[in-house]
Amino acid sequence: MNKISSSKTRNIFINVAVVLTILIGVESILLVYSHQLKIFNHNCDYYGLINPNILHFHRTLSVIMGFGLIFISYRLFKRMRMAWVISIFMVSLLALMNILDSGVILKPTIIVQLVDIIILIANYRNCKRASDPISIRHGIMLGLVVIIIIILNTLFTIYVLKSDTSTIKGVRDALNATLKMLFLIDTSVLGRMSKVQIMFAKSEIAINWAGLIAAVIFILKPLVYQPIATSFDREKVRRLLKEYGYNPISYVSVEEDKRYYFGREVEGVIVYVIAAGVAVCAGDPICSEEDMPLFITEFITYCKQNELDICFCQTLEKHIQLYTQLGFGNTKYGEEAMFDLQTYSLQGKKAAKIRNAINHATALGIKVEEYKPLEFRDKSIEQQIQDISKQWLDNKKSSELSFMLGSTSLDNPMDRRYFVAYNEQNVMLGFIVFSPFAGGKGYMADVTRRKSNAPIGVMEKITVEAFKSMKSEGVRWGSLGLAPLANVAEDGTLPGKLLEFVYEKLNNFYGFKSLHHYKKKYGCTFWEPRYVVYYPKLFTPKIAYSIIKAQNPKGVGDFILVQLKSILAGKQDL
């Protein structure tokens, strides 16, 4: 009870600091503009300790920081650490400037600023949330805001100056002079100027160009900033995968679109992306089973601090009880086709279709080979792989899915294995990239692509030949990956029924049924269920949307567009 009361008290104090920060920002703007009518008064009696040559730089800086405090107050309310740091810096600088202005400390404005600083410093432990990555849209908006503030501040000052300068007659002249001065560095538009006026013009130009540079950084940062990890981190993840990566989907962890949360109290990593305010995680935490309860609890705390919900995708059934105990909800997400390579064979009725397809490919002289880029790189082979990938993507109905799927990664193969099929003319017809799991004791068919005119049986022959080769090496497990939404209504939950409806009625969006039927033909050793678990435990549209957004950055709109194109194409065929 005391902890709850203490937490509420701290929140009240922080919210007071947020309000004070906003008021300080507003005051910094209004106070400067209340003095603008006297901005070129050489006496500057009320700024006796400020050198007139830097007075206008001081005022312009106050306006910019005032707007900055107002804009950043929302992030401060969200308890973001960087907003906390910037707020303390700006308020401290404004307090110092006010002390220099007035020559006294016990002044209401300064007292409020000092109180704000004290509250913020006292609550530094409560402002831990990491900053959100800047999107291109937000970058453009922030950049434009910086430039607009500078232009408006300069325009207002020049307009007030019109009585002192014969070249400025009205708002249009003031705007023209502002743009020429700021962007063309033409101070002659102000006419004859005093030393103070010259200082004003130079300071405005300098701040404007600094703002332009900041705007360019805001806009370009999302294009070059990767909120993921370094190659060193990926190597660390690769090492953890070899020891703890038992989920067949785990190897997508080394793809470059992922973020990593490394354990603080235990050895392990959780791989995720942020979509729609949800930390969408790939597979289960990669750590020892003994450490998993503590590691997940640690991650829950981290996500709460950053106001993120949590969703683990394609988790193993054996961990569901643990997730439930930790407060997660769950629903079945699909089934994965698993093969015990030491006992699997094509004999029997259930694999008859696969046998027929492979026999057809063999009769055409199609052969399968393993390409090993780590031993020897062949530009011709890699070019054919890239050409097939491009053709495959061009023929897809929607954008390429990511997050839960790997890539060809020929420039950095790591532990991936590449099996390719050729016809009698040695032309590549298709390929499959296998990724390891269970410390190399298993391999999953991750990336599967073929030419549009490839004959029947090409992909089946690649898969079976690859499994035979792996079996001879002592590999135990093979996987064809997930059949999304297959048999999801079995658990009887409402989310399961909704996903079943998607599987039955919205098959055109992804081809769930055809993918399931294709994998079923192989007659796998068993189907292993995969789950989605989420925190808080209520399955919401937000969770559903975050999964779609993580796998397809274009979101639901892309799937709807696919459906519309399909309908239009059908009408054209009539």
Instruction: Give pLDDT, residue 49.
Output: 39
Question: Quick one: the chain helix, strand, coil %, rounded to 5?
Answer: 60, 15, 25
Fold of the 336-531 domain: Aminopeptidase (3.40.630)
Backbone angles phi, psi at 337, to 5 degrees: -80, 110
Q: Are 181 and 196 in contact (CB under 8 A)?
A: no
Half-sphere exposure (Cβ direction) of 454: Cα atoms closer than 13 Å: 28
Q: Roughly what angle, to the nearest 10 degrees, separates helices 81-102 and 2-34?
A: 50
Q: Are 190 and 161 in contact (CB under 8 A)?
A: yes
Instruction: Give pLDDT, residue 150.
Output: 72
C-alpha to C-alpha distance for 547 and 533, rounded to whole angstroms: 11
**How far are the Cα atoms of 241, 249, 262, 313, 331 from residue 533, in angstroms, in the given order?**
21, 15, 20, 7, 7
Name the 3-class secondary structure at 469. Answer: helix
Max distance between CA atoms of the chain, in angstroms, equals 101
Q: What 3 state SS string does 140-172 have?
A: HHHHHHHHHHHHHHHHHHHHHHHHCCCCCCCHH
Q: Which of 315, 351, 355 is nearest to 333 (CA)?
A: 315
C-alpha to C-alpha distance for 571 and 79, rounded to whole angstroms: 53
Q: Which of 339, 318, 344, 333 is nearest to 479 (CA)?
A: 339
Q: Are 268 and 291 in contact (CB under 8 A)?
A: yes
**Digits of tens for pLDDT over the chain (574 positions)?**
455 556 677 778 888 888 988 888 888 877 655 554 444 343 344 344 344 444 555 666 777 778 778 877 877 887 777 788 888 888 888 888 777 766 667 778 888 888 888 988 888 877 766 655 555 566 567 667 777 777 776 776 666 655 455 566 667 777 777 777 666 666 666 666 666 666 666 666 676 666 666 666 655 554 444 444 577 888 899 999 999 999 999 998 888 778 899 988 889 999 998 888 899 999 999 999 999 999 999 999 888 877 789 999 999 999 999 999 999 999 998 999 999 999 998 888 888 899 999 999 999 999 999 999 999 999 999 999 999 988 887 776 555 555 667 778 888 899 999 999 999 999 999 999 999 999 889 999 999 999 989 999 999 999 999 999 999 999 999 999 998 888 887 767 777 777 777 766 666 656 678 888 889 999 999 999 999 999 998 888 888 888 888 876 555 555 555 555 554 554 444 3
End-to-end Cα, the chain, rounded Å: 70
C-alpha to C-alpha distance for 530 and 484, rounded to whole angstroms: 9
Instruction: Give pLDDT, residue 40.
Output: 38
Instruction: Go through 423-462 and write b for each residue having 16 or more CB atoms within 10 A of its CB, e for each that does not.
Output: beeeebbbbbbbbbbbebebbbbbbbbbbeebbebbbbbb
Chain centroid to CA 66: 30
Is the backbone peptide bond immediately before 529 cis, with ω within 30 degrees of 0? no
Instruction: Give pLDDT, residue 428.
Output: 96
Residue 404 identity (one-letter amino acid):
M
Q: Mind giving me the DSSP string for 244-261?
A: H--SGGGGGGGSTT-EEE
Residue 545 CB-density burial (10 A; 0-12 exposed, 13-18 middle, 19+ buried): middle
Instruction: Give pLDDT, residue 573.
Output: 42
Name the 3-class secondary structure at 549. Answer: helix
Instruction: Give pLDDT, residue 551.
Output: 75
Task: Spell out the domain ranges in the chain.
Answer: 2-224, 336-531
Q: Which of 188, 186, 185, 191 is nearest to 167 (CA)?
A: 191
C-alpha to C-alpha distance for 365 and 126, rounded to whole angstroms: 68
Q: Which of 113, 118, 107 is nearest to 20 (CA)?
A: 113
Number of neighbours of residue 208 by Cβ within 10 angstroms:
22
Name the 3-class secondary structure at 308. Answer: coil
C-alpha to C-alpha distance for 27 and 29, rounded to whole angstroms: 5
Q: Which of 78, 70, 118, 75 is nearest to 95 (CA)?
A: 118
Close Cβ partners of 5 (under 8 Å, ≥ 6 residues apart) = none
Tokens encoding 318: 């054996």
Close Cβ partners of 360 (under 8 Å, ≥ 6 residues apart) = 455, 456, 457
Q: Are 16 and 111 in contact (CB under 8 A)?
A: no
Q: Roughly what angle, to the nearest 10 degrees, separates helices 494-505 and 512-520?
A: 90
